[in-house]
Amino acid sequence: MPIRMDNIVETDGALILGAGIAGLFTALKLAPMPSIVLAGTRPGVSGSSAWAQGGIAAAMGEGDSWQNHARDTVTAGAGLCDPAIVDLVAREAPERIHDLLALGAPFDRKADGTLALGREAAHSMPRIVHVKGDGAGAAISATLAARAGQSQCITLLEGFHAIELVMEDGRVTGLFARSGMGHDARLVLFKARAIILATGGLGALYAVTTNPLESRGEGLGMAARAGAMIADPEFVQFHPTAIAVGRDPAPLATEALRGEGAILINGRGERFMTGVHPDAELAPRDIVARAIHRQIASDQPVFLDCRKAVGAAFAQRFPTVYGACAAAGIDPATQPIPVAPAAHYHMGGIASDARGRSSLPGLWVVGECAATGLHGANRLASNSLLEGLVFGERVAQDVRGALTPGAMRGIPPAPPRFASPAPAHVLREAMSRLVALERDDEGLRAALAVIARLERASTELAVQNMVASAKLVTAAALARTESRGGHWRSDYPAPAQVARRTFLTLADAGRIAAECHQMPAQSVQK
Ligand SMILES: Cc1cc2nc3c(=O)[nH]c(=O)nc-3n(C[C@H](O)[C@H](O)[C@H](O)COP(=O)(O)OP(=O)(O)OC[C@H]3O[C@@H](n4cnc5c(N)ncnc54)[C@H](O)[C@@H]3O)c2cc1C
């Protein structure tokens, strides 16, 4: 399709791609430095952020400490967390919650006025700040968007679809984004002195996901195609209790319900988690998700039974989940909720240091698209919004320090080419079938073959970005011949003796894929 490139937008400040919590918080922290926040959808309801239910983890309760929070995070991360990053995030968490309070976030409080703290799986203490039970993401997103909208320093632009980063002299200096459809489609070149990706996760690369459909790894793919180092892409977290009523994306039954005492039962009414892990329903997410997956694989439907734990108070205490159930004709106060695991969170991402710098000069990353080393092989519940806040502050500080006054260099680069989109459902179906909760050599090779076909078939850059992300997840999963955290290989069920993070580029993933097509099964080693 012919597309006009009739606009160049330049800023002397920063360009932030993504208007979820990470992008908006970074922009607010950057002020008075000017920034443009560019997003596909409307700030305030954009990305996974607005859908978050449980809340944000921070050690703010009596008897809790940042060391406890750090310990729980490291335990969940199954040997792959970066301890220095974990410490700094846990230590800075309460301060970031105070920032949100100062911005107007309406966290739930107890009768005595102190913050009400919830408990979620694998947290040793109640430490989740929340809003109206399960409405944290919507309330915080709305608060941040309103504040950003009032700021003289922040320009919010919605309806733009970014497709390619621009590199000049080895530095990221801008990006191309498309707006409009059909004859109205136009291409805009955005240039800035700092480019910050806050593009969220990649759950929607899977056919069964809790993520909004815009969370499909395009930021990760764009950065990878530009040569950025990617870390731990094989680690995808599956939420154990997506509500299984055939909706795409699948609505979520928050983990806080299990924190309240809701239990998992199978079609025979048996509670099966007590036989799987000492913490039963509050075991780490990957363990709960796999236990549910196995029940379903053995033809047992699984239900979250909240009748005793929440009962008649359900509609008032968990209005978002209640609404999703009611829309499917289920009354969770009196009926068990059908649930199944769904792709939910990406622990891996664009490799970042403690300042949010990627490996590419000029490119910072923040939020779910980044891999800071906080989550290791498995994210602790409610640590992800927190990561966006802590690194939003850190990126803002670093960008302010790194930018010296001066004009932008260079001539605008040639606009990228376009073609019609390829069917994403082929990719999503392959990822859900072959690169999900239980992986093996044969399935991962088959997935790489599908990815290679899609790569050849499409010149559409948005598709190339998605395919690049899928390739990184799949190639790294094939290379990791062990089971750890969110990555389970049925052909390598034990963890390796030495825990090692993955760092690879798209070219490395391409080599793994090429090797695997030449070699017999079971012979691709890390
Ligand atoms: C249902 C659900 C419940 C959750 N509950 C919790 C919870 O209770 N606690 C917790 O800590 N975490 C939770 N999470 C995870 C958490 O919500 C996310 O990790 C977090 O919101 C990510 O924030 P972000 O700002 O990095 O990205 P997002 O909020 O996903 O925002 C991404 C932004 O990037 C934009 N974007 C992406 N690609 C492009 C492109 N190509 N062009 C233009 N714009 C683009 C999008 O439009 C969007 O504005 C939950 C996730 C889901 C899905």
Q: Which atom of ligand 1 is nearest to the CA of 198?
A: 26
Is the model's pLDDT at 423 over the cut of 60?
A: no
Please tell me the distance from the alpha carbon of residue 524 to that of residue 203, in angstroms, as a whole number: 26
The percentage of residues in the chain with a pLDDT greater than 70, rounded to a whole number, is 94
Is the CB of residue 18 below 6 angstroms from any atom belonging to ligand 1? Answer: yes
pLDDT score for 417 = 65
Say how far apart CA 199 and CA 37 lie, in whole Å.
11
Residue 418 has pLDDT above 70, yes or no: no
CA torsion angle 452 453 456 461 (round to 10): -80
The predicted pLDDT at position 422 comes to 53
Classified as helix, coil or strand, 16 is strand
Q: Based on the number of CB atoms within 10 Å of its own CB, is 50 exposed (0-12), middle (13-18) or buried (19 or more)?
A: buried
User: Under a CB-based contact definition with an 8 Å cutoff, are residues 205 and 215 in contact?
Assistant: no
pTM (2 decimals)? 0.94
Q: What is the pLDDT of residue 121?
A: 78
**pLDDT tens per residue across span 231-252:** 999 999 999 999 999 999 999 9
Residue 384 beta carbon below 6 angstroms from any ligand 1 atom = yes
For residue 43, the ligand 1 atom closest to its alpha carbon is 49
C-alpha span between 162 and 190 (Å, rounded)? 10
How far is the centre of ligand 1, averaged over its atoms, from the C-alpha of 208 (Å)?
A: 16
Residue 102 buriedness (CB in 10 A; 0-12 / 13-18 / 19+): exposed
What does the alpha-carbon distance between residue 244 and residue 200 come to, in Å, rounded to a whole number? 24
Expressed in angstroms and rounded, the spacing between residue 239 Cα and the centre of ligand 1 is 15
> 108 pLDDT band (50/70/90 cuts)?
very high
Residue 394 main-chain phi, psi, to 5 deg? -70, -40
Distance in Å, CA 136 to ligand 1 centroid: 13
Residue 523, pLDDT score: 45
C-alpha 378/C-alpha 79 separation (Å) is 10
For 201-211, what is the mean pLDDT?
A: 96
Q: Is any atom of ligand 1 closer than 6 Å to the C-beta of 345?
A: yes
Average pLDDT, the chain: 93
Residue with tokens 């040569």: 227
Query: Does residue 372's CB lie within 6 angstroms of at least one atom of ligand 1?
Result: no
Distance CA(104)–CA(110), nearest Å, equals 17
Q: CA-CA distance, 334 to 321, in Å (whole number)? A: 14
Q: Please report which residue ranges of 188-236 form alpha helices under DSSP H.
A: 218-225
Find the mean pLDDT for residues 395-405: 89
Ligand 1 pocket, residue 252 CB under 6 Å: yes
pLDDT at 444 over 70: yes
Q: What stretch of H or E contains 467?
A: helix 461-479
pLDDT of residue 211: 96
Ligand 1 atom with the smallest distance to the CA of 24 is 25
Q: Can you give the pLDDT at residue 252?
A: 93
The per-residue pLDDT for 526 is 39
Number of C-alpha atoms within 13 angstroms, CB side, residue 291? 21
> So what's the pLDDT on residue 29?
98
Name the residue at shortest CA distance from atom 38 of ligand 1. Answer: 199
